[in-house]
Structure 1
């Protein structure tokens, strides 16, 4: 029997959220979800799913259908309970796109772009003061943090401070954060005229929380390397991983 990820307690909590998404609670649902989590954890091709999870094609079709409807994203957001929004930390991380992720039958880039590492996708993540994910964006690897910041910050809940590294050093980003009623804790670059006299270095040291979140997410092979051809499917994989971090809370 393959190693499973959901205890009875975790499954009870996850099932409640899934039923709110009008997902039918048939007898095979738990093992089907375990199959999706197994693929997220191991990164194996869908065809190589162990038979204990059911027919691999049925599991994939259900995952693809839920992804198209945005259900995994809503399940992730439904699992967020009482986040500590005193501070929010943002950062981006490259993900190598496997050769199997190429070749989608669409003219869109599917969030795969060229960077120094070759074909890559970038995950832009925001975590709360506990270091748990509260929002994320998926872009091509060529998109820098500052460019993706506008959409990510716009979706963030209200907080007292938003903390980021020098990649977010932009007056536009700072102004957007301040319009949301938060304080921008972002160091200015070395050639800045204004300098860092107003920088809260004590709070900035806590920025490791978002780095820790990336380290936890990338323990799952299908997150650390992108195998999915479609952006929406990789986005759902990331949503599953983020939601799983919230399950024990």
Structure 2
């Protein structure tokens, strides 16, 4: 076992959830070695062709990552790890914070060919060919944005990849709807945290109405322009929004969650052309954070 590889305890947590068969009914081989190669690339950001020889053929490692990103295997593994963590009481539901971060796209991440989704059998490969591929332009060049919800333990619960110019407020509900932590006994998955926090970018009547309808307590500061608009309408503007400064201080937890994800260089800088592969890269990093004790 080298630096950054899965420990025996981490492998024992992940192994029961891995797929047993591959293409045409064959069996996957060297799961642990291949996953260690994917983790090495995530941590260092090296090109796939430059993977050390101890991980086997670089093409095998890349194809395994691409295939599992396309068919949702990484998402299922992440959900299974969350289920185990919740059963062990390691998820801090007392405060879930939502935030976003921009990731600079490498020049090799641009130029993906625009083509129709390939159909394999009766199913279309999921998340494969977005019109924008999750890339947007800014003054610094091509960038993308990761929207995520993190628990009180500074680990991600849900994530969403969008172009960098997409605003944060419209992505609040899609991110919250992705929080689904299953139960080992087969009951309904948990989707509601005890409290939700977010910065001023997530303050909108639509988001507040969504949280009240669920119902979920929340602490989102109200921008000055929204407060002035509400006060100018008098009684028609509604009541002032509730805001707990003490609870809001915990919003730094989601910032630390983002720092944990960006410790993986393949997350801090996007090298993947396709949005579904980059989504798999971020999901692998999120799964690794939960595997750690």
TM-score bracket relative to the smaller structure: over 0.9
The separation in 1 between residues aligned to 2:141 and 2:248, in whole angstroms, is: 31
Aligned residue in 1 for 2:76: 74
Aligned residue in 2 for 1:101: 109
Check whether the contact 1:153–1:177 (CA below 8 A) recurs between aligned residues.
no
CA shift in 2, pair 1:61/1:197, >3 Å: closer
Worse-matched range after superposition: 178-187 or 24-33? 24-33
Worse-matched range after superposition: 40-49 or 145-154? 145-154
User: What's the offset of the Cα at 1:5?
Assistant: 2.1
Check whether the contact 2:108–2:273 (CA below 8 A) recurs between aligned residues.
yes
2:252 is the alignment partner of 1:208: yes
The separation in 1 between residues aligned to 2:46 and 2:243, in whole angstroms, is: 45
User: What's the offset of the Cα at 1:3?
Assistant: 3.1
Aligned residue in 2 for 1:60: 62
Gaps of 5+ in 1: none
Check whether the contact 2:21–2:28 (CA below 8 A) recurs between aligned residues.
no
The separation in 2 between residues aligned to 1:133 and 1:47, in whole angstroms, is: 30
2:264 is the alignment partner of 1:241: no
Gaps of 5+ in 2: 116-130, 180-190, 232-239
Aligned residue in 1 for 2:119: none
Aligned residue in 2 for 1:9: 9
- Give CA-to-partner distance per residue, 1:64-123, whole Å, 9 cap, x none: 111110111111111112122222100000000110001111262110011343211100
How many pairs were matched up? 248
The separation in 1 between residues aligned to 2:211 and 2:139, in whole angstroms, is: 30
Aligned residue in 1 for 2:211: 177
2:143 is the alignment partner of 1:120: yes
The separation in 2 between residues aligned to 1:245 and 1:179, in whole angstroms, is: 32
Aligned residue in 2 for 1:130: 153
Aligned residue in 2 for 1:166: 200
Across the aligned residues of Structure 1 and Structure 2, the Cα RMSD in angstroms comes to 1.9
User: What's the offset of the Cα at 1:150?
Assistant: 2.2
CA shift in 2, pair 1:197/1:146, >3 Å: closer
The separation in 1 between residues aligned to 2:210 and 2:275, in whole angstroms, is: 27
The separation in 2 between residues aligned to 1:60 and 1:155, in whole angstroms, is: 27
- Give CA-to-partner distance per residue, 1:122-162, whole Å, 9 cap, x none: 00010112222110111010111112112112223112221
The separation in 2 between residues aligned to 1:241 and 1:74, in whole angstroms, is: 14
Aligned runs of 1:221-240 on 2, under 5 Å?
Answer: 221-240=265-284
Check whether the contact 2:161–2:279 (CA below 8 A) recurs between aligned residues.
yes
CA shift in 2, pair 1:158/1:22, >3 Å: farther
Which has the higher Rg, Structure 1 or Structure 2? 2
SS at match of 1:243: helix
User: What's the offset of the Cα at 1:2?
Assistant: 5.7
The separation in 2 between residues aligned to 1:220 and 1:155, in whole angstroms, is: 23
Aligned residue in 2 for 1:91: 99
